[in-house]
A and B are shown apart, each in its own frame.
Chain A
Amino acid sequence: MSTLDPVLMSRVLTGLTLFVHIVLATIGVGIPVMLALAEWRGIHTGDGHYTLLARRWARGYVITVAVGVVTGTAIGLQLSLLWPTFMRVAGKAIALPLFLETFAFFVEAIFLGIYLYTWDRFKSKYTHLLLLIPVAIGASFSAIFITSMNAFMNQPQGFELVGGVFTNVNPFVAMFNPATPTKVSHVLASAYTTSAAALASIAAYSLLRGNKHTYFKKALKLTVISTFVFAVATVMIGDFSGKFLAKYQPEKLAAMEWHFETMKEAPLIYGGVLDENRDIKYALKIPYALSILAGNRPDTEVIGLNEFPEDEQPPLMIHYFFDLKVTNGVLLVVIPLLYMFRKWLPGKKAYPKWLLIGILALGPMALVAIWLGWFLAEIGRQPWILRGYMKVADAATTSPNVGWMLLLFILLYLVLSVSAIRVLTKLFRNKNAEEELAMLGLNSKGGSGQ
């Protein structure tokens, strides 16, 4: 193992840790918002079903937070363990967001602990609900800070590099770089979408298994409509991201779209394959669409990949990531839309099976979109770790043991994933919602219990 290239091994290990962590981090950011929504509805309408919904979500949420904390710890330490040269140089410019992120997380951790153990403890039910505000703010701000750091790596600014050392650093200019607004908003919106979609999948699964209780129908309605709202926002922000790339990171957009020659009225390529001469075959070409994506006008000039030296071009496979991600994004809008218009759909059933299966797929689809989005963003800035300043190959550790550590972490993540999934499924099976409803005396149709 020790003969393997530490740079490649470091990339794989970092990628693997983020692959696992992003799932949990995304849920960590989005679920508090959904919890607040459900608990607020429960208190506002006096409908105990929503309160139970929030409680049951919260129970599963703790497990995901716990695993998220440990994978987050792993990536936090791996930044320095695997990329010491990068941290030594760039640490002088990006320490602030990293530092602030831990504060945000601290607040989230404290209030989540309080939230979980104070159901029924306060006289006013709103007091307990208010505890979710710092949890949600903490979670979202963690995402904002850490994403701004990633944005910096894509669009570095706020310093001068003199002889390998950062001088004249302005941490705020570094943090609020041109990539930050689109990246941060896209990350937040997609995290809310994914969380709502994952919860919608659970509700759809219960209904598919034949649970007819109105509790599940309410859960479905709340989560699917939330998914729709968040997904529409995500798609709109995604469009801004395209315009950002066209202006600031044209080589990424060009590689994403297999757009080789600089031209106006550029078509958008969907699917297809490339041959050795970089000719595109079997693809769907949408005329003018890329120019419109890049600048809202068909005569916008889009810079082609050929303008960049070969060793600074991102890998061309990111085209597929982009296409698949966008497809998932569109489905995340369309399926909830079908749900909302289900009364006008052909057929007699209120909840047709195919629609429930579609909703069941929302969670996995959103998750895959998150992964693809990050592959796109990260692989799309290769070969740079700090675009324009430092290449990945110069930033990795020189330690010969990275290969062994990779094996160790593969094992760890396998064990953690399998056990977390087992614990989560057992958690919901052991305390089934209908029994709990009966226990709380919420079995009547209106269910204004408590």
Chain B
Amino acid sequence: MSYGLVAIAILWTFLFGYLIVASIDFGAGFFSFYSALTGHENKIHNIIQRYLSPVWEVTNVFLIFFVVGLVGFFPDAAFYYGTALLVPGSLATVLLAIRGAYYAYNTYGSSKENNKIYMALYGATGLLIPAALSTVLAISEGGIIYLADGKVQLDWNNFFTNPYTWSVIVLALVSVLYISAMFLSYYANRAGDEVAFGVVRGYALIWSGPTILFSFFAFLTLNRQNPEHFEAMLDISWMFIASFLCFLFAVYGVWKRRWLGLSFIMVMLQFAFAWYGYGRSHLPYVLYNYINIHESVTNDTMAITMITAFVLGLCVLIPSLILLMRLFLFDANYILGKSGKKG
């Protein structure tokens, strides 16, 4: 395996990690706000808060890790994406900033249990951020970033009139709500909170339909945007079929109110198959026609050093993450709200 392939596999995995944890986080923020609007807040708010509080900081790191890793392994990516994405990148940063800060204000700083304005900011940005970030996927397919007089430019017109752009955005939105509701169903069930479970189970089932629908739609519109990539996807179509089967199992489980832990694992597998299938068929390009993993990868010494650093880093990270999950995800007393009030 070439260094480029190892590097992109590492980065893609981190982005997948971000996809899952951030979806839970973004969706939960939105549900929390929505339930406050509709007067259901006491039903699901506590469950959401108990899960989110200890992990919110970790979510952000996954994204930073990806960005830093991408720039480190593929410095050309910094040049092309950096120049072209100044405006959307800055907007996404501002949204992330507002969301992070106001979450902390509401959770740790507010005297009232729920400050409506803080919650609104938190909920709304939770949907805008995935929409903003997902546009990078559309841009990576090519045809939107171009070079003119040696300067990197972004073709806004092509970007906004492109059906693929919009199908990716909508897919990101509905997936966030779906993944989050599926996770919260599992979490509420573990906590033995029947009322919350009823509410989030409803959300999960409602959002499952649009998720699979827009997955198909994104798949079809890709054909128009980048036929080469589309062909490559057809070659590994088994991955997408596997993804669909996982989806069916997960929704069936939640529908039957059974095997909720397994169902959430199936949700993760559903997205893993789709995500790695999409990523694998995107290769060798990181940005279609401009950056590919063989030519743009950083020098060998740096690649080896960074991969080594990554492996050593994982030796610290994985035990820490397991500890975090054991304390807050799999600890019955904590989930039930019997221990671990903030200091």
Q: Which residues of A contact B86 (CB under 8 A)?
A: 81-82, 397, 399, 401-402, 405
Q: With A171-B301, A399-B86 given, is the CB distance from A80 to B78 under 8 Å?
A: yes
From B80, B309, B324, A96 is in contact (CB under 8 Å) with B309
B88-119 to A contact mask, C-beta < 8 Å, 1/0: 01111110111011111100111100000000
Q: With A88-B76, A402-B86 given, is the CB distance from A419 to B343 under 8 Å?
A: no
Do A73 and B71 touch (CB < 8 A)?
Answer: no
From A71, A111, A116, A420, B342 is in contact (CB under 8 Å) with A116
A110 → chain B, closest Cβ, in Å? 5
Q: In the assembly, what is the distance between CA of A100 and CA of B309, in Å? A: 7
Do A67 and B101 touch (CB < 8 A)?
Answer: yes
Do A117 and B72 touch (CB < 8 A)?
Answer: no
Q: Which residues of B contact A70 (CB under 8 A)?
A: 60, 96-97, 100-101
Q: Which residues of A contact B323 (CB under 8 A)?
A: 110, 114
Number of B interface residues, CB 8 Å? Answer: 72
Interface of chain A, helix or strand or loop or mixed? helix
Q: Which residues of B contact A76 (CB under 8 A)?
A: 64, 67-68
Tell me if A65 counts as interface (CB < 8 A to partner B): yes
Q: Which of A221-229, A232-240, A348-356, A422-430 interfaces with chain B?
A: A422-430
Tell me if B226 counts as interface (CB < 8 A to partner A): no
Q: Which of A40-48, A162-170, A298-306, A380-388 interfaces with chain B?
A: A162-170
User: Nearest residue in B to A413 (C-beta to C-beta)?
Assistant: B97
Tell me if B235 counts as interface (CB < 8 A to partner A): no
Q: With A118-B340, A169-B299, A424-B109 given, is the CB distance from A105 to B101 under 8 Å?
A: no
User: Nearest residue in B to A406 (C-beta to C-beta)?
Assistant: B90
Q: In the assembly, what is the distance between CA of A93 and CA of B75, in Å? A: 10
Tell me if A99 counts as interface (CB < 8 A to partner B): yes
Q: In the assembly, what is the distance between CA of A72 and CA of B64, in Å? A: 9
Q: In the assembly, what is the distance between CA of A445 and CA of B151, in Å? A: 70
Could you tell me which residues of chain A, from 171 to 190, have a CB within 8 Å of some CB in chain B? 171-172
Do B79 and A84 touch (CB < 8 A)?
Answer: yes
Q: Which of B39-47, B49-57, B185-193, B257-265 interfaces with chain A?
A: B49-57
A53-80 to B contact mask, C-beta < 8 Å, 1/0: 0010011001101110111111011111
Tell me if B302 counts as interface (CB < 8 A to partner A): yes
Q: Which residues of A contact B310 (CB under 8 A)?
A: 99
Do A427 and B109 touch (CB < 8 A)?
Answer: yes
Tell me if B61 counts as interface (CB < 8 A to partner A): yes
User: Nearest residue in A to B81 (C-beta to C-beta)?
Assistant: A80
B275 → chain A, closest Cβ, in Å? 21
Do A117 and B111 touch (CB < 8 A)?
Answer: no
Q: Which residues of B contact A113 (CB under 8 A)?
A: 53-58, 324, 328
A57 → chain B, closest Cβ, in Å? 10
Q: In the assembly, what is the distance between CA of A107 and CA of B78, in Å? A: 26
Q: In the assembly, what is the distance between CA of A404 and CA of B67, in Å? A: 23
Tell me if B36 counts as interface (CB < 8 A to partner A): no
Q: In the assembly, what is the distance between CA of A232 and CA of B110, in Å? A: 38
Top 6 nearest A-B pairs by Cβ distance? A95-B72, A66-B104, A91-B75, A84-B82, A87-B78, A423-B109
B interface, CB within 8 angstroms of A: 53-58, 60-61, 63-65, 67-69, 71-73, 75-76, 78-83, 85-87, 89-94, 96-98, 100-105, 108-111, 151-152, 298-299, 301-302, 305-306, 309-310, 313, 316-317, 320-321, 323-324, 327-328, 334, 339-343
Known: A58-B343, A62-B108, A63-B105. 16 other contacts (CB 8 A): A63-B104, A69-B57, A69-B100, A74-B97, A77-B90, A77-B92, A82-B82, A84-B79, A87-B78, A95-B73, A96-B72, A99-B72, A109-B60, A170-B301, A405-B86, A427-B109
